[in-house]
Structure 1
Amino acid sequence: MKKYNLKWTSIIVAIMVFTFMTACGDGQQEAAEETDNMGMADGMEGMGEMEGMDMAQQDNGAAAVNMEGEPAFVVAYMDIKNALVNDNYEQVQQAANALQSGLEGSQLSEEQRSQLSESAGQLAEAQDIEAQRQAFAQLSRQLYEVVKNNNVTENKLYWQHCPMALNNQGANWLSFEEKVRNPFMGQRMPGCGSVEETI
């Protein structure tokens, strides 16, 4: 009887995992990749700053985008996104401060600079990574409006969406990469999401 119950429990768990992974449109192949990524992240635990560096290099390697000439606040935004993908609280703080500094020399309107700076300040002052992700959602919406209505960058931007972000509220973010690297799910499910719009 115990073996019978264990078998059914295993089947139910497998179905739940499959359903969870496909909810984000990843499919079985992506689910296998995420499992590999999670195993790699677990194996790197305790390596301190090396973990963030390796993940950032892997992330940057995927982005064949030349950041030279990009506005400093856009570069800092992408650094925030990548740090959230890597679950790196400290790097998010540093990049949020850099975003505020980068806004000072930008050609945005005073209102746009003020809004973006306020959201970046909330990111920098957030007490944990989940609070950072909440603030990042707001920053992303504001920056989306800025890039839609202004000639801010020469590069193509992808407006990406994850329906499971922020406890299934859903959230969007901007990326230079078409491949999804989810800042809201981090290393749990970095490939979860899809491209909603190309700017």
Structure 2
Amino acid sequence: MKFKRCILAIAVVLFATSNLFAHSEEIQPDFVEELMEQYFEVQQALAADNFAETQTAATQYTKILNLQPALSMKPSIIKIKRAASKLRKADDLDHARVAFQKLSTEMQSLVEDVGIKRGTLLYVARCPMAFGNEGGSWIQADTVISNPYLGASMLRCGNIDALGKSK
């Protein structure tokens, strides 16, 4: 009887753990690439201090997320949806930038786990001066810094590292 309980407990733990970390089998690089294309639109709008374009890009980003209802209960997608919703509902650039920071964190995790199809590298940029010198990171498609957190006032502030190769 104890053996059966032990096996059952192990099975439950393995199932729960696989649901937390195994999104790479269900979330495909094509989908992540679609998300990244729209993510870059948001990033560039924030870097240009353009709130209207930020809202438009965030709305489009949310639409792409909603095209995959089968993925909507994946923990990583839930976190991304929350961040995207806050970004879309932001009432000014400052709030949009805070929401974008959370979205960037979640997207970096997703890209590292799943990858994208494109044949190039993605980059993680970090500005140590963002958010009152607490710093903030984001993903970029190239090595020219376009700071979404400080915009035109410090557009090129930051350093950059490769995120990883695409799949």
Tell me which interval the TM-score lies in, with the shorter structure as reference length.
0.7 to 0.9
- C-alpha separation in 2, matches of 1:77 and 1:112: 16
Equivalent residue for 1:50? none
Q: 2:54 aligns with which of 71, 76, 92?
A: 92
SS at match of 1:138: helix
**CA offsets, 1:40-88, max 9 Å, x none?**
xxxxxxxxxxxxxxxxxxxxxxxxxxxxx97332111000000000001
1:4-83 matches, within 5 Å, as: 71-83=33-45
CA-CA distance at 1:103 after TM superposition: 1.5
- C-alpha separation in 1, matches of 2:117 and 2:43: 17
1:108-147 matches, within 5 Å, as: 110-147=74-111
**CA offsets, 1:78-128, max 9 Å, x none?**
000000000011111111111111123357872222211111110111111
Structure 1: give runs of 5+ residues left out of the alignment. Answer: 1-68
Q: Quick one: higher RCO (CA 8 Å, sep 6+), 1 or 2?
A: 2
TM-score, reference length from structure 1: 0.61
Aligned partner letter, 2:40: M
Q: Is contact 1:73-1:100 (8 Å) kept?
A: no
Q: Is contact 1:71-1:152 (8 Å) kept?
A: yes
Equivalent residue for 2:123? 158
Q: Is contact 2:112-2:163 (8 Å) kept?
A: no
Structure 2: give runs of 5+ residues left out of the alignment. Answer: 1-30
**CA offsets, 1:170-194, max 9 Å, x none?**
0000000111111111000111101
Superposed CA RMSD = 2.1
What is the number of residues matched between the two proteins? 132
Identity across matched positions, percent: 26
Equivalent residue for 1:105? 67
- C-alpha separation in 2, matches of 1:176 and 1:110: 26
Q: 1:145 to 1:108 in 2, by over 3 A?
A: farther
Q: Is contact 1:159-1:196 (8 Å) kept?
A: yes
Equivalent residue for 2:147? 182
TM-score, reference length from structure 2: 0.72
- C-alpha separation in 1, matches of 2:50 and 2:117: 26
